[in-house]
Amino acid sequence: MDKTAGFEVSGVRIGGKEPIIIAGPCTVESEEQTLTVARAVKAAGIKVLRGGAFKPRTSPYSFQGLGEEGLKILKTARDETGLLIQTEVMDARQIDLVCRYADILQIGTRNMMNYSLLKAVGEVRFPVMLKRGFMAKVEELLLAAEYIIKGGNERVFLCERGIRSFDDSTRFTLDLAAVPLIKKLSALPIVVDPSHATGRADLIIPMSLAALAAGADGVMVEVHPWPKKALCDGLQSLSLDMFGEFVKKVSAMIQFLASHNQEQ
Ligand code: PEP
Ligand code: MN
């Protein structure tokens, strides 16, 4: 495997020359909600749809996701649009089930240090996006990734999604310096999730542009057709209008960086 050029997932290169965009609802809530977003994502020329069926919620009283029913909705979206599906696996016992529906497994911030889950995911031949624990150092993130790779699963990419700091003006603190730092320390691709990092839809575009300028291999954002009615993370979800603006600005940045890098 050419580590400097990332890897491919069904024809989509992660960590290659062109940054990747991953977009979709925080949580699969209904077929209508997910298909509405999937169609917008597809129309924007994006290749990967995200959406949670198993949700790691802080409160056990909050909506926990639709489980397998949510995975089936993602499959419907995949069948209609051809988008690759990225969805979270929270527990080693869910891996077989999730792999039946997903193209990319996601390990969430709360599970970055769940070493038995990391080992179990190392045993499957499925690409994995590993999110940085919100209390984890960069070194701990890189070592967590090693757990997966050591099992023989080399198609791992990382996600900086904000860390907890003294400042709660934003939901977490986006550690953008981690991006060029990880580029120096590791060959693993790294994407940035400004939705969870900031918790605010109005900060997603500027932080996405900053992430790409800092050298990120992509960005992942949450999109909801009706953010005010979202069952999870509505405040940090782009409406479809904002998503249109996001696509315009991010595409311009990707083009600019491509021509800038060619000149170098
Ligand atoms: C998510 O991306 O759906 C998610 C739950 O994010 P995090 O694990 O970073 O909180
Ligand atoms: Mn979310």
**Tens-digit pLDDT profile for residues 26-81:** 999 999 999 999 999 999 999 999 999 999 999 999 999 999 999 999 999 999 99
Residue position matching structure tokens 């209008």: 241
List the domain range (segments joined by +) for residue 184: 18-55+63-263
Query: Which atom from ligand 1 is nearest to the alpha carbon of 88?
Result: 3
The predicted pLDDT at position 261 comes to: 83
Query: Which atom from ligand 1 is nearest to the alpha carbon of 161?
Result: 9
- Quick: pLDDT tens for 127-148: 999 999 999 999 999 999 999 9
Does the Cβ of 244 fall within 6 Å of ligand 1? no
Strands 12-14 and 7-9: antiparallel
Contacts of residue 226, Cβ cutoff 8 Å, sequence gap at least 6: 33, 239
Q: Is this model's pTM higher than 0.85 or not?
A: yes
**pLDDT at 2 > cutoff 50:** no
To test the pocket of ligand 1, the residue of 54, 131, 236 to mutate (highest count of ligand atoms within 8 Å of its CB) is 131
For ion ligand 2, residues whose CB falls within 5 Å: 26, 233
User: Can you read off the two tokens belonging to residue 83?
Assistant: 């988008």
Considering every ligand atom shown, identify the ligand nearest to the alpha carbon of residue 70 and give its number.
1
Q: Does 3 map to a domain?
A: no
Does the Cβ of 236 fall within 6 Å of ligand 1? no
The predicted pLDDT at position 262 comes to: 79
Q: Does 4 map to a domain?
A: no
Does the Cβ of 171 fall within 6 Å of ligand 1? no
Q: How far apart are CA 165 and CA 135, in angstroms?
A: 9
Q: Does 136 map to a domain?
A: yes
**pLDDT at 1 > cutoff 60:** no
* CATH number (domain holding residue 48): 3.20.20.70
Does the Cβ of 25 fall within 6 Å of ligand 1? no
pLDDT band at 3 (very low <50, low <70, confident <90, very high): very low
Q: Does 81 map to a domain?
A: yes
User: Can you read off the two tokens belonging to residue 156?
Assistant: 């791992």
Q: Does 108 map to a domain?
A: yes
Total domains present in the chain: 1
Whole-number average pLDDT of the chain: 96
To test the pocket of ligand 1, the residue of 193, 219, 220 to mutate (highest count of ligand atoms within 8 Å of its CB) is 193
**Percent of the chain scoring above 90 in pLDDT:** 96
Q: How far apart are CA 168 and CA 253, in angstroms?
A: 29
Report the residue count for the chain.
264
